[in-house]
Amino acid sequence: MADSTATPSTPVDVVLVGGGIMSATLGSIIRLVEPTWSIRIYERLDAVAQESSNAWNNAGTGHAALCELNYTPEKADGSIDITKAVAINEQFQTSREFWQHLVSADLLPEPEGFIASTPHMTFVRGAANVDYLRRRHAALVVHPLFSDLEFTDDPAVVGEWAPLLVAERSADEPIAATRSTSGTDVNFGALTRKLTDYLESTGAELHLQHEITSLRQRKDGTWRLKVADRTWNAAERRSTVDAKFVFIGAGGGALPLLQKAGIPEAKGYGGFPISGLFLRTTNPELVAQHQAKVYGKADVGSPPMSVPHLDTRVVDGETSLLFGPYAGFSTKFLKKGSLLDLFMSIRPSNIVTMLAVAKDNMDLTKYLISEVTKSRWNKFKTLRDFMPTADPKDWEFITAGQRVQVMKSHPEKHGVLEFGTELITAADGTIAGLLGASPGASTAVPAMVDLLERCFPQQFPAWHRELATMMPSLAPQEWSSEEAFAELEADDADFQKTA
């Protein structure tokens, strides 16, 4: 293996902390542009993709802003702002281009193992919401990336698209829906495993049940990491590894490690952990009647994480339906973490941020309290709003992954809560980490390209030329150009067919 002889005095070129989609993506990109670099992956559990990347710990939505209303806010003048929706769709196209390149180069197996074509729909109830959805559709459909988006306020058409939404629904209730047939369901757990297999086949080392317990930068700029071997029969419980570059892609575990690293760029950041539940059914009769990811509208005053959605899920070749999420609260930063995680993350540098967020987000506190105290039947009635014929005997509750929302300092408000992802990089480019949640996994590729540009400014110009041949959307272009979009469709044709 390329780095099998590495010792603390012989630094590994790249250490990836955490065996999720972010580390697997970054490692794969680095391997393509720098094939001789040594790479090590450290994962504290006994397999990769067991936390947020696991298929049952997330909704599997290929986030392209086709159905998510929180990406298209309404302005004060009543117009719809599509800026964020366009940006997220562009980022997802870049991710798909990278996956397509790996498949075409025989570096990944066929895509049907990790991505499936699944229409994306938005479904709303009530006259005001119907009006909003109509205006949203009008704003989006003129952009080439959303040109296939359909709108209807005809219950019969909604029933053709998704029968479970209208069966036994009152005819007096105004409803509307949009649909894009270009949507996808992504098994990020399967994709992570395939990317990790590729990395191992090229000489990268994967160390399972190994946990990074501390990080310290040495005088020469490299990082010394202390590693705890968590296997029951470990010959040596503690060891160290030196690294020229460290990426912390450990999901909820990233913040504590960035804090341990002591870089000033991580000061002022906090994490707000939120747990969750999904309802799942594998009833073949129900599954056959619903082939879409259908997102609704959050209640007024509710946070983006409360958006209800009824999703087709394809996991390891088996199709099921998933509904949720039902938010809850836990002080753990990881699903298999410690109840002390939140308290251990409090520092003098972030306590003002965290207190300010707590003061300014009482609506979130009320929402979480209401969710936690809801009975299972009241939770189930939320599904009934979406699917009037839902029967409890067909559904089971499953525990979703733990997500940690980013809290960051703000010059005026002292602290704000972020609902996206946040890339933190040291000034010298030797260490970086990713915080936050949705739409994280869907935008993993452009996020990691951004990381490389920030951390390796000297090498990046040469890398960018090579990466742009793999991902044409990285080349300068105007996405509103019909010619550019036609080229994207042509390049993506084979991948669309298999997915």
pTM of the model: 0.91
| Residue-wise pLDDT tens digits, 413-461 | 888 888 778 999 999 999 999 998 777 899 999 999 999 999 999 999 9
| Residue-wise pLDDT tens digits, 139-175 | 999 999 999 999 999 999 999 999 999 999 998 999 9
Same domain, 340 and 470: no
Same domain, 177 and 316: yes
**Which whole-number Å values give the CA distances from 419 to 72, 157, 403, 423, in the listed order?**
14, 34, 10, 13
| Residue-wise pLDDT tens digits, 28-79 | 999 999 999 999 999 999 999 999 999 999 889 999 999 999 999 999 999 9
Terminal alpha carbon distance of the chain? 33
Same domain, 268 and 280: yes
| Residue-wise pLDDT tens digits, 371-408 | 888 888 888 999 999 999 999 999 999 998 888 889 99
Q: Give the per-residue pLDDT at 192.
A: 97
Residue 371 in any domain: the answer is yes
Domain containing 492 equals 458-496
Same domain, 179 and 37: yes
Same domain, 361 and 477: no
Q: Do 124 and 133 contact (CB within 8 A), yes or no? A: yes
Q: Do 328 and 274 contact (CB within 8 A), yes or no? A: yes
Same domain, 398 and 467: no
CATH code where residue 235 lies: 3.50.50.60
Instruction: Give the H or E element holding residue 186.
Output: strand 184-186
Please count the structural domains in the chain.
2
Residue 215 structure tokens: 């990080």
Same domain, 470 and 365: no
Same domain, 153 and 130: yes
Quote the distance between the C-alpha of residue 89 and its chain's center. Answer: 13
Residue 166 structure tokens: 């209208």
Residue 282 in any domain: the answer is yes
What one-character DSSP code corresponds to residue 61? B
Residue 5 in any domain: the answer is no
Same domain, 463 and 426: no
Residue 2 in any domain: the answer is no
- Tokens 């599904």: give the residue: 383
| Residue-wise pLDDT tens digits, 334-378 | 999 999 999 999 999 999 998 888 888 877 777 787 888 888 888
| Residue-wise pLDDT tens digits, 185-223 | 999 999 999 999 999 999 999 999 999 999 999 999 999
Domain boundary among 455, 470, 486: 455
CA dihedral of 293, 297, 302, 304, whole degrees rounded to 10? 40
Residue 299 structure tokens: 């209640």
Residue 3 in any domain: the answer is no
138/4 Cα distance (integer angstroms): 57
Strands 309-315 and 318-328: antiparallel
Dihedral angle sign, alpha carbons of residues 342, 229, 448, 54: negative
Q: Do you find a cis peptide bond into 348, omega within 30 degrees of 0?
A: no
104/32 Cα distance (integer angstroms): 14
Residue 1 in any domain: the answer is no
Same domain, 228 and 350: yes
